[in-house]
C-alpha cells in the first residue's frame, strides 16, 4: 500500500527539524570519536585490561556497520521517520544501560545496542532531512548534513577527554539520554502521521544473521587472539573454522537470493572491487592508528585524556573544508589520480609519524596530524566516484550499503589489529634494548650513573631505567605500525591504477548531481 507524502515543513518547524536532524547526526558520530579518548578510563572503571576496553569500541562499530543496510531496508519498507524515532529511543535505552551497568558483558551488550541504534539513524536521518527540502534547494540540505559529518568525529577526542577527566566517562552516556529522547520526541511530533511510499521487500534475516556472526566472530578472534596465544589455542582454531564455514555458507546464500541482505555480486565490477579494497584498507589503517596513538599517549606517556585528545585537534582544521572542495574537484579529474595522490599523502603522513620519539609530542605530532586532516577530508569523495563508476542507478545505493558496512567494520578491525602489531613489536624492541644495554656496556653504566646522581638508589635507578626502556619499546612499536601503514598506502596508490578510468559525463541533470553528492556524504560517515 502506498501512502503519499504530505506537505513539507515550513517556518520555525522547518528550522527546528533541521536542528534536530543535525544534532542527532552529531550525537551518534560524537559517540564514536569521543569514546576513543576514554578507553583507559573505561578499563579502570570496569576493572578490565585495556585490551578488553578496546573490545567495547570495536563491537560498537560492528553494530554501527550492520545497521547501515538495515536502515536502507527499513526506509523502503516503512518510510524513514518511524524507524528513525524508534532508533533514537533505543539509543537512549542503550545509553542508560552503558551508564549504569557494572559488569563487563552487560556493558558490552549495551555498547553493541548503542552502535546498532545509532547506525540506523545515519542513513534514515540523511534521507529525512534532504526529502524535506524542495527540489531546487536540496543542495542546501546536503550541505547542512555534511557539516555534521566529519566535524564531530575530529572534535570528539578532545571533548571526550575533557568529559572523562572532569566528570567521569559514564557522563558521555548520561548526556546521550535526554538529547536522544528530546530529538526523537520532537521529530515524531513534527512528522506525526507523515506517510511515504512503501515497498514490500522481504528482509533477508538469514543473510543478516550470518554476516553478523562472521563480523562479530572475526572481531572476537582479533580481540582474543593475543590472550589465547593464537594457533596454539583450540578455542581460537575452532573460532577460525566457524568463521570460515559461516562465511562460505553466507556467500552461497546471498548468491541464491534475488534481494539479498548485501549485494555481493557487485564485486564482479572491477572499479567497485578496487575502490572497496582501498576504502577497507585505508580506514583499517587510519582508525587503528588513531586509536592506538591516543590510548598509548595516556598509558605510556602519562597524558591525561584531554591532552591526548587535543593531539588530534589539528585534523579538524582541514578535514571538512577539504571534503567540501573535493565535491567539486572530483567532477573535473579522473578519480584514480585523486585517490592515488590521497594515498601517497597518507603514506607521507605515516612515514613522517614513524620518526616519533615521545619528546615534545605536541610539536612532533602537530604538522603530521594537520596533513592527515587534509588527507582524511579528500579521502572519501574520489573513492565514492571510483566505487560507483559504471554501476546502474538502481544498484548504486546497494553498493553504498555494502561499501559503508565494510568501511566501518574495517575501522573496528583496525583498532584491534594495530593493538596486535604493538603487542608483537614492543617485546622485540625491548629484547634489542636488553641485548645492547648490559652490565659490561659502558653506555649502560653512564646511563645508570646519570640516574643515581640526582639521588636515586641503585635499585631505584635500575627500576627507573626499566620503565624508560618499556616506554621506549612501546614508542618504537608504534613507529613500526606507522611505517607499515605508510608502505600499505603506497601499495594502494599503485593498486588504484588497475581500475578503469572514471571520466564523468559531460552533462548531469540537477537530480543526478544532488544524488551523487548525497552518496559521497553518506560514505563519509565514520
Q: Is residue 372 a contact partner of residue 349, using CB atoms and an 8 Å limit?
A: yes
Q: Which three cell numbers stand for residue 361?
A: 609530542
- Residue 280 confidence (pLDDT): 96
* 500, three cell numbers: 578503469
**pLDDT of 1 strictly over 50:** no
- Which residues does 188 contact at the CB level (< 8 Å), separation at least 6? 81, 85
Q: Can you tell me the distance from the alpha carbon of 300 to that of 199, in angstroms, rounded to the nearest whole number?
A: 54
pLDDT number for residue 342: 95
pLDDT-derived band at 4 (thresholds 50, 70, 90) equals very low
Q: Is the pLDDT of residue 482 over 70?
A: yes
Span 423-440, mean pLDDT?
Answer: 80
pLDDT band at 250 (very low <50, low <70, confident <90, very high): very high
Task: Choose from 45-54, 480-489, 503-512 the range with maximum mean pLDDT.
Answer: 480-489
Please determine, for residue 116, whether its predicted confidence score (pLDDT) is greater than 90: yes
> pLDDT category, 149, cuts 50, 70, 90?
low
Q: Is the pLDDT of residue 253 over 90?
A: yes
DSSP sequence for 404-449: HHHHHHHHHHHHHHHHHHHHHHHHHHHHHHHHHS-TT-HHHHHHHH
Q: What pLDDT score does 364 carry?
A: 84
254 close to 236: Cβ distance less than 8 angstroms: no
The whole-number pLDDT of residue 3 equals 44
Grid cell for residue 165:
577527566
pLDDT mean across residues, the chain: 85
Q: Can you give the three-state secondary structure of 235-261, one letter per residue?
A: HHHHHHHHHHHHHHHHHHHHHCCCCCC
Amino acid 508: pLDDT? 59
Does the pLDDT value for residue 507 go beyond 60? no
Euclidean distance between CA atoms 514 and 516, whole angstroms: 5
| Mean pLDDT computed over 101-117 | 95
What per-residue string of b and e applies to 293-326 under the rule 16 or more CB within 10 Å gives b? bbbbbbebeebbbbbbbbbbbbbbebbbebbeeb
What's the pLDDT at 46?
92
| Residue 139's pLDDT band (cuts 50, 70, 90) | low
Instruction: Say which residue, 419 or 438, is predicted with more confidence.
Output: 419
Among 45-59, 193-207, 312-326, 501-515, the minimum mean pLDDT is found in: 501-515
Element (H, E) at 398: helix 393-436
Nearest-CA neighbor of 276 among 397, 410, 373?
Answer: 410
d(CA 473, CA 418): 15
Task: Quote the pLDDT of residue 315.
Answer: 81
The reported pTM is 0.89
Yes or no: say if 485 and 344 are a contact pair by the CB < 8 Å rule: no
Residues of the chain above pLDDT 90, percent: 43
The Cα–Cα gap between 199 and 176 comes to 33
With bands split at pLDDT 50, 70 and 90, how would you rate the model's confidence at 222?
very high
Q: Name which residue leads in pLDDT, 272 or 439.
A: 272
- The tens digit of pLDDT for each residue in 380-394 reads 888 888 998 888 877
- As given in the structure block, the three cell numbers for residue 94 are 542503550
331-345, 440-454, 482-496, range with greatest mean pLDDT: 482-496
DSSP 141-191: HHHHHHHHHHHHHHHHHHHHHHHHHHT-TTHHHHHHHHHHHHHHHHHHHHT
pLDDT of 195: 65
Q: What is the pLDDT of residue 5?
A: 47
The helix-helix angle for 442-452 and 458-495 (nearest 10°) equals 120
Q: Is the pLDDT of residue 151 over 70?
A: no
C-alpha cell at 78: 516503512
Residue (of 226, 488, 453, 232) closest to 346 by Cα position: 488
**Tens of pLDDT along 79-96?**
888 999 999 999 999 999
With contact defined as beta carbons under 8 Å apart, do 95 and 177 qualify?
yes
Over pLDDT 70: what percentage of the chain? 85
From 245-249, 272-276, 369-373, 494-498, the region with the lowest mean pLDDT: 369-373
Q: Does position 148 have pLDDT exceeding 70, yes or no?
A: no
User: Which pLDDT score is estimated for 271?
Assistant: 94
Sequence-ordered alpha helix ranges (H) in 437-526:
442-452, 458-495, 510-523
Q: What is the pLDDT of residue 2?
A: 44
Instruction: Check if the beta carbon of residue 68 is closer than 8 Å to that of residue 323.
Output: no
Per-residue pLDDT of 312-356, as tens digits, reads: 778 877 777 787 788 778 878 889 999 999 999 999 999 999 988
Q: What is the pLDDT of residue 442?
A: 66
Task: Give pLDDT, residue 330.
Answer: 82
How much is the pLDDT for 517? 63
Amino acid at each position: 500500500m502506498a501512502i503519499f507524502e504530505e506537505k513539507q515543513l515550513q517556518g520555525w518547524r522547518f528550522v527546528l527539524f533541521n536542528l534536530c536532524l543535525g544534532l542527532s547526526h552529531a550525537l551518534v558520530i560524537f559517540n564514536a570519536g569521543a569514546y576513543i579518548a576514554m578507553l583507559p578510563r573505561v578499563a579502570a572503571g570496569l576493572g578490565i585490561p585495556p585490551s578488553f576496553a578496546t573490545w567495547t569500541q570495536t563491537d560498537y562499530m560492528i553494530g554501527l556497520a550492520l545497521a547501515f543496510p538495515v536502515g536502507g531496508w527499513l526506509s523502503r519498507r516503512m518510510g524513514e521517520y518511524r524507524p528513525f524515532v524508534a532508533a533514537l529511543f533505543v539509543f537512549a535505552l542503550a545509553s542508560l544501560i552503558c551508564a549504569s551497568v557494572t559488569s563487563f558483558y552487560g556493558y558490552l551488550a549495551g555498547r553493541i545496542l548503542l552502535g546498532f541504534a545509532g547506525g540506523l539513524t545515519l542513513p534514515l536521518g540523511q534521507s529525512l532531512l534532504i526529502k524535506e527540502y524542495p527540489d531546487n534547494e536540496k543542495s542546501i540540505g546536503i550541505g547542512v548534513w555534511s557539516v555534521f559529518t566529519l566535524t564531530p568525529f575530529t572534535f570528539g577526542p578532545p571533548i571526550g577527554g575533557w568529559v572523562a577527566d572532569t566528570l567521569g566517562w559514564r557522563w558521555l552516556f548520561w548526556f546521550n539520554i535526554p538529547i536522544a529522547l528530546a530529538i526523537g520526541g520532537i521529530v515524531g511530533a513534527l512528522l506525526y502521521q507523515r506517510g511515504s511510499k512503501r515497498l514490500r521487500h522481504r528482509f533477508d534475516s538469514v543473510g543478516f544473521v550470518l554476516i553478523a556472526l562472521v563480523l562479530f566472530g572475526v572481531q572476537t578472534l582479533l580481540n582474543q587472539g593475543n590472550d589465547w596465544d593464537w594457533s596454539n589455542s583450540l578455542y581460537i582454531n575452532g573460532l577460525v573454522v566457524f568463521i570460515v564455514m559461516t562465511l562460505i555458507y553466507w556467500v552461497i546464500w546471498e548468491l541464491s537470493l534475488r534481494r539479498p541482505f548485501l549485494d555481493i555480486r557487485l564485486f564482479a565490477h572491477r572499479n567497485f572491487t578496487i575502490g572497496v579494497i582501498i576504502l577497507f584498507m585505508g580506514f583499517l589503517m587510519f582508525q587503528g592508528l588513531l586509536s592506538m596513538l591516543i590510548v598509548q599517549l595516556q598509558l605510556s606517556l602519562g597524558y591525561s585524556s584531554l591532552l591526548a585528545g587535543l593531539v588530534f585537534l589539528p585534523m579538524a582544521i582541514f578535514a571538512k573544508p577539504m571534503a567540501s572542495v573535493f565535491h567539486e574537484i572530483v567532477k573535473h579529474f579522473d578519480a584514480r589520480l585523486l585517490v592515488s595522490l590521497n594515498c601517497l599523502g597518507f603514506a607521507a603522513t605515516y612515514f613522517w609519524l614513524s620518526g616519533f620519539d615521545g619528546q615534545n609530542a605536541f610539536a612532533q605530532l602537530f604538522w603530521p596530524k594537520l596533513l592527515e586532516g587534509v588527507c582524511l577530508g579528500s579521502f572519501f569523495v574520489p573513492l565514492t566516484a571510483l566505487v560507483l563508476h559504471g554501476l546502474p542507478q538502481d544498484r548504486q545505493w546497494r553498493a553504498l550499503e555494502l561499501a559503508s558496512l565494510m568501511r566501518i567494520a574495517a575501522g573496528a578491525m583496525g583498532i584491534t589489529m594495530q593493538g596486535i602489531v604493538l603487542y608483537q613489536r614492543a617485546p622485540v624492541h625491548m629484547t634489542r634494548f636488553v641485548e645492547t644495554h648490559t652490565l659490561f656496556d659502558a653506555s649502560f653504566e653512564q646511563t645508570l650513573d646519570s640516574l643515581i646522581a640526582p639521588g636515586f638508589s641503585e635499585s631505584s635507578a635500575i627500576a627507573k631505567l626499566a620503565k624508560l626502556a618499556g616506554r621506549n619499546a612501546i614508542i618504537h612499536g608504534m613507529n613500526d605500525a606507522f611505517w607499515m601503514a605508510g608502505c600499505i598506502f603506497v601499495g594502494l596508490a599503485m593498486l588504484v591504477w588497475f581500475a578503469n578510468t572514471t571520466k564523468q559525463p559531460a552533462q548531469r541533470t540537477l537530480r543526478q548531481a544532488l544524488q551523487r553528492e548525497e552518496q559521497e556524504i553518506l560514505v563519509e560517515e565514520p
